[in-house]
Structures are given as C-alpha cells and as structure tokens.
Amino acid sequence: MRQDKFTSKERDSETGLDYFGARYFSAAQGRFTSPDEFKGGIVDPFTGQDIETNTALPYADITDPQTLDKYAYVRNNPLRYIDPDGHAPSDLVYDGEAHTVTLIRSDGTVAGTWPAGNNVAIHAPTGEGNGSYTKGPIQDGTYQVRPADQHGARTHLGGTDNSAFGPQGIVHMEGAQGATGQTLSGAGLHSGRANRGGPQANTAGCIRTTTEAVQTVNQVAAADPVTTVRVSNNARNVASWQARAAAVRAAEASAREAERRRRAHDQAQH
C-alpha cells in the first residue's frame, strides 16, 4: 500500500520509506537511504566525455560542507527547499580564470558552458548604480540562488541583447561577498551589453554571460531548480580590483584636496 506523504512523494507503508525516483528517503532518519549517484565523473563540456572517474566526492564543493553529505536532504534545509527527484539540485559554476559559467543539472550532466565575466567597475555603470562606488567582484564561495529565481529569472525581463541586463533577466544569488568584504545585495547572473563586449563588459558586481546561457538556465530551472552558484578561481580578479580601487580612491582624494586648496586660495585673494 502506498500513500502520498513528505513533499507529495509516495510512502511505502511496509518500509516507511518515501520514493523520490532516484532513491528512497527515510523520514524517521531525516536522510536518504543511499548516496546521490551520478552517471559519471566530471564531464568535459566541449566533448561530452568523462574526464575523471567517480570519486568519493563527485561534484561536491570542499568549501561548502552541506555538499559533502550525499545522504542529506536539500542541504539539511527542508524548510526552504524541496527535492523533486532525489538528486542534488542543479547549480551554476563560475570560473574566474577560465572566464566561463557552467550549468550542471541535478543528474550531474552538463547543460552547457558559456563565456562569462565578473569584470566590475570601480564606479557603477550607468543604469546599474549610476556612478556610486561598487563593492567589487565576487569572492570565491558557494552562494544560494534567491528562492524566487530557483525556477528561472523573474526580474529585468524583456530587454535587448544590448541593454544592461539582457532579455532573459537576472538569476540573483544571496549573500555574495564582494572584494570589499561587503555583501552584494543584488548580485546575480545576467547577459546584456553585447555591443560593449558582452560577457566581458563591466558590471556593478554581477556575473555577465551570454543571452543563450541565461535562456538555458531559465529553461532547465523550470523543471530542475537551480539552487546554488559556485564562484571559483576569482581571487586574482578580486585582488586586481582591490588594487585599482585603492589607486582610484587615492587619486580622487588628491583631486578633492587640490580643489579645496584652490578654492581657499581664491577666497584669500578677495
């Protein structure tokens, strides 16, 4: 006999286990009865071939402890997330050295890899902060996708390839830390500015990619929620921005002091 129970999954009355498709969940233990299994190891997105055999930590992020437990249910946060099929959720991986963003589906397959950049201006570009100081590029880490965007972007839709955020909207992340150490409240993934370099065009803190990439994320997320963005290999970008920001601020402070002295001198002459 079966009955719908936890997150509308079928519960086997004899075993007490909930069937999630890929594996069984034990409500009594609050965990799956088997680890999350993937079809293969890490996949080369350009050839589609496995380049590494399965290891003890397939697709886990050593900096994110919740990804290390392959028996856990939704990162041990069931009040916020659900698991539709028993697999770990899909996630995005931004590589600051390769200048790419990769979408990994919940079954471990790669949906695609696209050009991307986290080239953050010192002063926010027009339309993205209008000249205010930015908080710099995103520091390495794993960040949660805003719940409203886990099934696809919901804001800034309908632009053009040349607009600030592109036509497919922004997939926001929460808690992203900028180079200044401050939280980037509106950071996310979007396209736009194709006429200014596309993925390498400056942003106020976001990761910019292609319209095709964001469109694919939205399509995949509609049925397979994207819950995390992993930022890696972005340390050099962060350090470079910090050095440039310090130089700009010093130059601006020097210019303000020079202007103050000029005005004081002019007043003394009258």
Domain map (residue ranges) of the chain: 88-269
What pLDDT is attached to residue 207? 98
How far is CA 246 from its chain centroid? Answer: 27
Q: Which pLDDT tens digit goes with each residue over 232-264? A: 999 999 999 999 999 988 888 888 888 888 888
Counting Cβ atoms within 10 Å, is residue 186 exposed (0-12), middle (13-18) or buried (19+)? middle
Query: 245 is written with which tokens?
Result: 């920001």
Residue with tokens 């397979």: 224
Euclidean distance between CA atoms 232 and 95, whole angstroms: 5
What pLDDT is attached to residue 232? 93
Euclidean distance between CA atoms 3 and 25, whole angstroms: 14
How far is CA 53 from its chain centroid? Answer: 26
What pLDDT is attached to residue 98? 95
What pLDDT is attached to residue 253? 85
User: Do residues 227 and 203 lie in contact, with contact meaning Cβ atoms separated by under 8 Å?
Assistant: no
Nearest to 186 by CA among 217, 160, 155, 163: 155
> What pTM value is reported for the model?
0.67
Task: Share the mean pLDDT of the chain.
Answer: 80
Nearest to 234 by CA among 101, 112, 35: 101
pLDDT of 11 > 60? The answer is yes
Whole-number Cα distances in Å, 114 to 93, 164, 186, 191, 217:
11, 19, 22, 11, 11
What pLDDT is attached to residue 44? 42
pLDDT higher at 101 or 257: 101
What pLDDT is attached to residue 14? 75
What pLDDT is attached to residue 2? 47
What pLDDT is attached to residue 159? 93
Q: Which pLDDT tens digit goes with each residue over 144-167? A: 999 999 999 999 999 999 999 999
For residue 254, give every residue at least 6 positions away whose Cβ sits within 8 Å of its Cβ, in sequence order, or none: none
What pLDDT is attached to residue 50? 42
- Name the percent of the chain lying above pLDDT 90: 48
What pLDDT is attached to residue 255? 87
Query: 136 is written with which tokens?
Result: 């710099």
DSSP assignment letter at 41: S
- Residue 106 pLDDT class (50, 70, 90 cuts): confident
For residue 76, give every residue at least 6 positions away whose Cβ sits within 8 Å of its Cβ, in sequence order, or none: 66, 69
pLDDT of 184 > 60? The answer is yes
Q: Which pLDDT tens digit goes with each residue over 37-67? A: 544 344 444 444 443 444 455 555 555 566 6
User: Do residues 20 and 29 lie in contact, with contact meaning Cβ atoms separated by under 8 Å?
Assistant: no
What pLDDT is attached to residue 51? 38
Whole-number Cα distances in Å, 87 to 11, 82, 91, 249:
18, 11, 12, 47
88-269 under CATH 2.40.440.10, yes or no = yes
